[in-house]
Amino acid sequence: QVQLVESGGGLVQAGGSLRLSCAASGRTFSSYAMGWFRQAPGKEREFVAAISWSGGSTYYADSVKGRFTISRDNAKNTVYLQMNSLKPEDTAVYYCAATSRIATMRDDYYDYWGQGTQVTVSS
């Protein structure tokens, strides 16, 4: 069982930066691949980024490639999402998720989800 708690969301102007954190409980965090997803009002949840259990492989949605960076610290049981050059269209609730499978953009492959953190980008 893994419990996930996101933090770091907030209100930022376009062009600004935020760093989201996702703290995981449990001693097996390093055996899970992790992902970030987001959901804007009236839209379906979409993949943002994923990282392998070791951190050696990362994957990004085209919409955030070059602007967002996913990373993890297995010693701290935490995964991060550094978001730079934010745009109003990045406004959404951001969720982290854990999967016992390989890192993937498929949300149905993830076993555990956090409660989400709101990110609002003003123009």
Sequential pLDDT tens for the chain (123 residues): 899 999 999 999 999 999 999 999 977 898 999 999 999 999 999 999 999 999 999 999 999 999 999 999 999 999 999 999 999 999 999 999 999 999 999 999 999 999 999 999 999
Q: Which two tokens stand for residue 93?
A: 């609730």
Cα separation, 14 vs 23, whole angstroms: 27
What was the pLDDT predicted at 107?
96
Radius of gyration (C-alpha) of the chain in whole angstroms = 13
CA torsion 23-27-29-31 (nearest 10°) is 180
What was the pLDDT predicted at 1?
84
